Amino acid sequence: MPLIFYRYVKKYGFSLNFIPRIMYTVSTKILLDLNIPIKVYDLREEEQKIENPAIPIRQQTNGGLASVFFENVYTIRLGIVYKL
């Protein structure tokens, strides 16, 4: 018979991003939008808990707080805008 235990994960976070943007007008109705989001600061807290009576209570919960300045994640976004 398999044993099933209640488990949950809680995640909280906060991110501060700086997004430089360039917009180029192709025609009166079409624009190109190029932007590169830069993650300046990222704060995360995670808590995991599994209610297994075979494990001591202190080991049933784990997780913690993590913060990162200028994370090495870069995304380039290109958009095409059409004005109606």
Its domain, for residue 23, covers 7-82
**Domain presence at residue 38:** yes
Q: How confident is the model at residue 2 (pLDDT cuts 50, 70, 90)?
A: low
Residues 6+ apart with CB under 8 A from 34: 21, 22, 23, 24, 76, 77, 78, 79
**Domain presence at residue 40:** yes
Hey, what are 63's tokens?
A: 């997780």
Q: How many angstroms separate the CA atoms of 34 and 40, rounded?
A: 19
Rounded average pLDDT over 21-25: 94
Q: How many angstroms separate the CA atoms of 42 and 69, rounded?
A: 7
**Domain presence at residue 1:** no
Hey, what are 6's tokens?
A: 């209640």
pTM, whole model, 2 decimals? Answer: 0.58
pLDDT tens per residue across span 35-45: 999 999 999 99
**Domain presence at residue 2:** no
Q: How many angstroms separate the CA atoms of 70 and 4, rounded?
A: 41
Task: Give pLDDT, residue 61.
Answer: 87
* Number of domains observed in the structure of the chain: 1
